[in-house]
Structure 1
Amino acid sequence: MASEHQYLITVYGTYFIASILFSFLINRLFLKFVRTLGIRNQDDTVIRWGSQSKPAVGGFSFYILFLLSIITYSIFFDSNQVFLNKEFIGLLLASMLGFLLGLADDAYNTKPFLKFLTQVTCAVILMVTGTEISLSYVEPVNYVITIVWVVGIMNSLNMLDNMDAITSTVSISIILSAMVVMIFHQEVGSVYFMVLTGVMAALIGFLYFNWNPSKMYMGDTGSQFLGVFLAATGIKYLWNAEPPSGDLISARNLLLPLIVFIMPIIDTTTVVINRLGRGKSPFIGGKDHTTHALAYLGLTDRQVALVFWGMTLVSLLLVVIIERFLVSWTHLYTTLFSVYLIVMFGVFFYATRTVERNLR
């Protein structure tokens, strides 16, 4: 057993460090040789905080390291978990479709309906291959929740990518939270742990170029891939996590993903409510996100990124507490974590409304 653990640590540690270096080098090459790919100056519908156009090629390193992680796992571990695993094949296909959707959107400005249809298709692929949210005894309800979740997270991460380092830092914390759950449930040997390691390393290498003042963006190629990848990971290890004892297991498995994905969910919900309240479409870009509100209130771009990263790290800490100490779920825990989510949403929602009133 000790030798097996040592083997896992050696392989994962070596691969993690090598992946960070690979991500850094490939993004540096993209930055040097691909100056215009992903830049959309004409009729640009993606409104970012900064006015300067920069290459949006970071997503390529995410997907490349995702694929390299699969190959590495097949070489050093059990290849059957890759090629004979129906759920993982579904993740591979849905992630590929998300990557291609983002690539098309960066290149051609995909029409909203086609984009939505493709996102739904990603959700359907996951469901058909066995990755679906099991929250209700009524199967059609689970289908609806799964589609809403996948489409919602894909759009949330895409909308959150409006300022330097926001989506990349938030995604790193989400991945760490999923890995914490896997560690507590002794699933470190899974192929999912390897691909999470690879994608997190890709994000860390990319973050060097994406930290304010950024040199490149991840683009829709990156945010759409991350959206479907993290949504699927959230379903498997947060929504459907092996529950503790107690009478409110479903409440726990509902709150866990909301806590982990708290910042993209709060940002998207706030933007949709505010835009609908003004009679505007929530699908048209604008500088009215929670990130922008913090900047209007006086924070620098780096401080905004640190606030968002800090909040997701708090979520990571809460996941550790839930997995390590709350062995039996009770009404008290449901109340406490529900209050936490409501308070956090209220703070950021109030910030956006305060800024909106001041700008009138």
Structure 2
Amino acid sequence: MTIFAFFVVSICLSILICGILLKFSKNLGIRNYQDYIIRWSAQTKPSLGGISFYIVFLFSLIFYAIIFGEDDVFRNSKLLGLLTAGSLAFLLGLADDAYNTRPLLKLGAQVVTGLILVYTGTYLPVSNILWIDTIFTVIWVVGVMNSINMLDNMDGISSVTAIGILLASSFGYFWIHNQTASIWLILNFSVIGALIGFLYYNWNPSKMFMGDAGSMFLGLYLAFTAVDSLWNIGVHYENHRWLGMLVALVAFTPAAADTFTVVINRLKRGQSPMVGGKDHTTHHLVYKGLKDKQVGIFFLVISVLSAGIAATMIYLISASQLVYASLLALYFPLVFGYLFYTTKKYKQKD
């Protein structure tokens, strides 16, 4: 009941915040009126919707502290690390929306957010050697933040992908801790509520975009919760670290498949993977003949399916059915193979 209350309030709060931003900030968050190279839509719209994610996150923390006491919030090193790193990611995105920050500065700030998570106790369980785990954690955080940012190229895509990941993460938290009112589950469903509220304005045809402030914070949050609830599944049950990696990969299927496809294709063309363009899997599905809204529905379906398969893998791992859990991981290469094939068959259009 507590989670449901936070969830509903978060939806309403997100709709209210986005509505206010849309009404009073028509010309904010739009950096280049004539730059249509990266954005799929040729119509300029405010890129401020992601601000609601951060505000809802802060309000959820505050109300949780009021209702359940401050100890779970202000004496929780992991949570304080998430708050600090998330705030830095949000400010980084906000600066990028306003001033187009330099790529090296942006990368440096992303590395710092990863180091903050490690310092406060959140890191990938790749080995028993801290410096190795630190390197992999920073790579993971930077990769997820940029992946979500890159996927924010068409109405609703990043939001539905993030919702699927958070559903898988929430199942992982529930299955490990069996606590329906834990701070982590409440935060997850609060962010899901914020995303649903934002989708009211971002679903095709959209009225506003997420912006880098939203995608940077969201990417950081997803990177954190995936480490805490998905990557650690293998260690928690069987001490097989690779199982947690497979669960996370399946949960991130839409984002990972798009990122890998874009990076591979751009490197083959001799282009930088970090430069925007209309060569994402979402774009190629349109080149194939789908409407923008149909692409959104397609990614919604595979995101929910990814969450369901990841949750099933968690259950199988907890039941020591490791072979069956591993076989379900074949879902990722199947989706990746299909999307990658789509980009080979249909050439990019300017």
The 1-side partners of 2:92 and 2:35 are apart by 17
The 2-side partners of 1:72 and 1:19 are apart by 12
What TM-score does the superposition give when structure 2 sets the normalisation length? 0.95
Q: Which residue of 1 aligns with 2:121?
A: 130
* Contact in 1 for aligned 2:233/2:243 (Cα 8 Å): no
Amino acid of the residue matched to residue 274 of structure 1? N
- Which of these residues, 175, 188, 193, is aligned with residue 201 of structure 1? 193
- Which of these residues, 49, 65, 71, is aligned with residue 80 of structure 1? 71
The 1-side partners of 2:285 and 2:69 are apart by 47
Q: How does 1:1-360 map to 2 (within 5 A)?
A: 9=1, 11-41=2-32, 44=35, 47-185=38-176, 186-241=178-233, 243=235, 245-246=237-238, 249-326=240-317, 327-334=319-326, 336-356=327-347
* Contact in 2 for aligned 1:158/1:223 (Cα 8 Å): yes
The 1-side partners of 2:137 and 2:334 are apart by 26
Measured on the aligned residues, the alpha-carbon RMSD in Å equals 1.8
1:244-271 per-residue CA deviation (whole Å, 9 max, x = no partner) reads 655x722211101101111111111111
* Contact in 1 for aligned 2:156/2:204 (Cα 8 Å): yes
Q: Which runs of 4+ in 1 moved over 6 A?
A: none
* Contact in 2 for aligned 1:70/1:194 (Cα 8 Å): no
1:131-152 per-residue CA deviation (whole Å, 9 max, x = no partner) reads 0001213332211110111000
* Contact in 2 for aligned 1:262/1:312 (Cα 8 Å): yes
* Contact in 1 for aligned 2:125/2:235 (Cα 8 Å): no
Amino acid of the residue matched to residue 193 of structure 2? A
Gaps of 5+ in 2: none
The 2-side partners of 1:320 and 1:151 are apart by 25
Q: CA separation of 1:169/1:245 partners in 2, compared to 1, >3 Å: closer, same or farther?
A: closer
What TM-score does the superposition give when structure 1 sets the normalisation length? 0.92
* Contact in 2 for aligned 1:102/1:220 (Cα 8 Å): yes
The 1-side partners of 2:296 and 2:19 are apart by 22
* Contact in 2 for aligned 1:45/1:284 (Cα 8 Å): no
1:153-204 per-residue CA deviation (whole Å, 9 max, x = no partner) reads 0000000000000001111111111111112221333222222121111111
Gaps of 5+ in 1: 1-8
Q: CA separation of 1:182/1:245 partners in 2, compared to 1, >3 Å: closer, same or farther?
A: closer
Amino acid of the residue matched to residue 332 of structure 2? L
Q: Which residue of 2 aligns with 1:6?
A: none
Q: Secondary structure at the match of 2:127?
A: coil
* Contact in 2 for aligned 1:131/1:232 (Cα 8 Å): yes
The 2-side partners of 1:43 and 1:141 are apart by 44
- For these two proteins, the number of residue pairs brought into alignment is 348
Stretch of structure 1 that moved more, 132-141 or 320-329:
320-329
Q: How high is the sequence identity, in percent, across the aligned residues?
A: 45
